[in-house]
Chains A and B, each alone.
Chain A
C-alpha cells in the first residue's frame, strides 16, 4: 500500500512535512490544497493512529496516478428521508471503497421509524465497509461529533440556511478544509432555452440559494451540487416504481400535459462519482456549482416507455390536463410538469467527470429488484389515477 502511494507522489507546493511524521502519506496531503495547512497536522496524527488497520481492508483501493490519492476523512450529514437520502449512502460506500474514512451523521434518532426504510435499513453496509454511522441533530453537531475533525464535510440534509448554517459553522471552526453541499436543480429559473447550465439565473428566494451564498462567503473551499431525480437500489423515495406499479398491473399510466416534458433521471452512482471527484480534486472543485445529474434527458413519455421495456410489458400512456383534477394534481404525478432539464457541464469541464447512467439497462436492474422484493404483488390503491381516468371518460379497471 505504502509503495503504491509513494509512486504517485508529486509536490505542488513547498511547505515541509511536520517533523514528527514519517509516513509517506504525509507528504502527499501537503502537496494538495494550500488551505489545508492548518488542519493537515491534526488529520495526519489522527490518520497515523488508525491507518494501519484501515489500510488492511482497502484491497480494492484504486490509485489514480496523476491525481494526489490522498486519503480524506469525510463527514456526510445526511437527511433522514426523501429523494436525496440515497445520495449519502452511495457516496459513503464509494469513498470507503476508495480508501477514505467516512462518518455518516443521519439527522434524528437511530430508533425512529424512518430508519426502517432504505437506505437506512442498509446502513450496516457502511459499517461493514469500515465507516461510522451516528445519529443526532444538526443543532447539536458540536456535541454529537465532539473531538472529531474532518477534511471534508458534505451537507446532504439542509434546504435552507437555518439548517445548514450550524453544520457549516461547526465544519469551519473544527478545521474542515472542504465543504460540499447538496443543493437542487429545482432552484433554476424556468427557461425556454434548456438545458439549465451552471451559472444560469436561479430563484432568488430559494433556500438553497441562500446556503450557496453563505458558503461562498464563509468557506475557502466549497462546492455546491444541484441534483434532479435519481434511481438506484436503496432509494428512499419512489421514482421508477411509480411507473412499474402501473405497468405491472396493466393499468394506464397517466401523464400530465403532452408527456413531451424533458427531465433528467440519473442513477445515483453518477451523483456519488461526481462528489468523489470533488473530494479527490479539491482545488479544481473549489468555488464551483455542479449540476449533479446524468448527461441525458428523457421525456416523461419516454420514461414510461423505458420502464415498460425494462419490464418486458406493454404500456398505455394517457395524457390529461392537470387543471382538471384540481388540488390532486401535485400528488398525482411524481415529476415536475414542465421541462426540467439540467446538464452536468461543469463536472465534465472542471472535474473530468463522466456520466455512466444508462436508463435502458439500469431500469432492467431496477425492475428485477422491484419484483424480487415482491412489490409487483403488493396491493396498491390508485384513487387519484381513477379520478383522472374518470375525468377522461376512460374505463376504470376493477
Chain B
C-alpha cells in the first residue's frame, strides 16, 4: 500500500512507514505509468462501492490537452480505449513524448490521438465543428469564462457528461479551514469565471462534474510552483519567503489529478457534483521549501523571511503562492468516489524533479530580481 495516503485502519503495533513508491522515483515511461494506474485503481475502490467505470469506448473531446493536465489525462483516456480529440489552436505540439517515455508507448499514443484545430473563442466555429462531429463527453481543461461553454453545450445536445476543471481559488477566504465544497465562494475572486461556468452548467441541467484543484505540480508544470524553488536551490541562493512562512498551502500532483478526472468519467455518483482534488496533506511555505530541497537532493536551504509591505516589486511576483492559508479538504472525493492521491509531497516533488527540472528542463528562466531587492543586493536589470 502506498505511503502518505489518508488514514485507513490503523494498528498501533505496526507503524505505517511513509514508504515512497519506487516506480515513480526513477525513470518515467508510459508503460510504467499505466501499470501503476491500473494497480492504484484496484486499491482505490472502496469496498462495496458501486464504481461505474466507463466500460464502453466513448468519443471524448478535450478542450486543451496539450500543455500540462491534459497531457497526462489524454494518455489515460487513450489507454482506457476511448477515442480522444484535443481541441487546441495548435500553438503547442499536439503530442510530445513524456520525459522517459518509451518510443513504442509514445507512438501508440500519438497514432490514436485526434486533433481539432481551432480557437475556442470563435464560438461559431466551436458550435459548428462540434455539432458536426458529435461527442459523448467533454473534458474542459482550459475554460475560463462561462460564455466559452455555451457553444459547446449548444452543439452537443446529447452530451453524456461535461467534466470541468475549475479551481479552489473560487472559495471565499475564511478563518475556518480547510475549504469544503459546501463552503461559501467568492463572486469577486480572480476565478469568478470558473464560478460562473459552474453556475451555468448547473442551470443548464447538463450532467456535469466540476473539479477544483488547489496548486497543481508535477513534470511539465508551466506555472512556476516547484520550479521557483528549484531555480533558487540550484543556484545555491537563499529562499525568500513572505512573513512567517507558517502559511499553509496545498499541492496536488498532476498525475493524481489526471486519475481523478478519469475516476469521475461515467460515474453516476459524480453527476452535478463539485470535488476538491489535491494532495491529502497540506504544507507550510517553509516546509515546502525544505521539501523541494529534499526532492532535488539539495542541502537544507537558508530561508529568509521578509515583510512584503516593506518592498515595491513593481509588477513582478516575489513569491509564487497567495500570501495566506489556502487549502481544501479532499474528503468528499475520497468518501464518495474512492479517490485517494498516490503521491506524498516529497515523493511527488521528486517525481517532478527527476522528470523535468533535474533533467535541465523548465518553463521560465530563473529571475532573481525580486530576491535581490529583498536581499538588499544591487538590482540586476534585464
Contacts and interface: CB of A to CB of B under 8 A. Distances in A.
Contacts of A359: 176
Nearest to A319: B244
A194 B281 CA distance: 6
Contacts of B283: 192-194
Contacts of B247: 260
A192 B12 contact: no
A258 B10 contact: no
Contacts of A295: 329
Contact of A349 (B6, B246, B281, B286): B6
A346 B176 contact: no
Interface in A106-164: none
29 contacts: A192-B284, A192-B288, A193-B282, A193-B284, A193-B291, A195-B281, A198-B7, A199-B10, A201-B15, A216-B11, A216-B13, A258-B243, A260-B244, A260-B246, A260-B247, A262-B177, A262-B325, A287-B10, A288-B9, A288-B10, A297-B177, A298-B177, A302-B175, A303-B175, A306-B175, A339-B246, A345-B6, A346-B10, A360-B176
Contacts of A258: 243-244, 246
B278 to A, nearest CB: 13
A262 B326 CA distance: 12
A249 interface: no
A348 B6 CA distance: 11
A213 interface: yes
A67 B107 CA distance: 55
A348 B325 CA distance: 24
B345 interface: yes
A199 B7 contact: yes
Given A260-B246, A296-B178, A302-B176, A195 B282 contact: yes
A216 B12 contact: yes
Given A197-B7, A216-B12, 5 more contacts: A193-B281, A199-B10, A297-B178, A299-B175, A345-B331
B286 A192 contact: yes
Nearest to B14: A199
A84 interface: no
Contact of A213 (B12, B281, B291): B12
B6 A296 contact: no
Contacts of A29: none
A103 interface: no
Nearest to A197: B7
Interface in B128-166: none
A23 to B, nearest CB: 33
Interface residues of B, number: 33
A271 interface: no
Interface in B334-374: 335, 345
Contact of A296 (B12, B177, B291, B335): B177
A283 to B, nearest CB: 12
A230 interface: no
B162 to A, nearest CB: 30
A261 interface: yes
Interface of A: 191-195, 197-199, 201, 212-213, 216, 224, 257-258, 260-262, 287-289, 295-299, 301-303, 305-306, 339, 345-346, 348-350, 359-360
B334 to A, nearest CB: 8
A318 to B, nearest CB: 16
Interface in B166-196: 175-178
Contacts of B13: 216
A262 B176 CA distance: 9
Nearest to B346: A193
A305 B6 CA distance: 31
Contacts of B290: 192
- Chain A interface, >50% SS class: mixed
B16 interface: yes
Contacts of B248: 194, 262, 339
Given A260-B244, A289-B12, A349-B8, A305 B325 contact: no
Contacts of B177: 262, 296-298
A260 B325 CA distance: 8
B9 A350 contact: yes
B287 interface: yes
Contacts of A306: 175
Contacts of B246: 257-258, 260-261, 339
Nearest to A339: B246
B331 A289 contact: no
A168 B248 CA distance: 40
Contact of A199 (B16, B282, B345): B16
Contacts of A257: 244, 246
Interface string B238-264: 000001101110000000000000000
Given A216-B13, A257-B244, A297-B176, A348 B286 contact: no
Nearest to A297: B177
Contacts of B8: 349
A340 B325 CA distance: 14
Nearest to A289: B10
B115 to A, nearest CB: 40
- Please indicate which of the listed interface residues B9, B10, B345 has the most CB atoms of chain A within 10 Å of its own CB: B10
A178 to B, nearest CB: 15
Contact of B331 (A198, A303, A348): A348
B325 A296 contact: no
A345 B244 contact: no
A349 B286 CA distance: 30
B176 A345 contact: no
A299 B281 contact: no
Interface string B314-336: 00000000000100010100010
A185 to B, nearest CB: 14
A301 B246 CA distance: 13
A111 to B, nearest CB: 39
Nearest to B281: A193
B176 A296 contact: yes
Interface in B263-292: 281-284, 286-288, 290-291
A232 to B, nearest CB: 18
Contacts of B291: 192-193
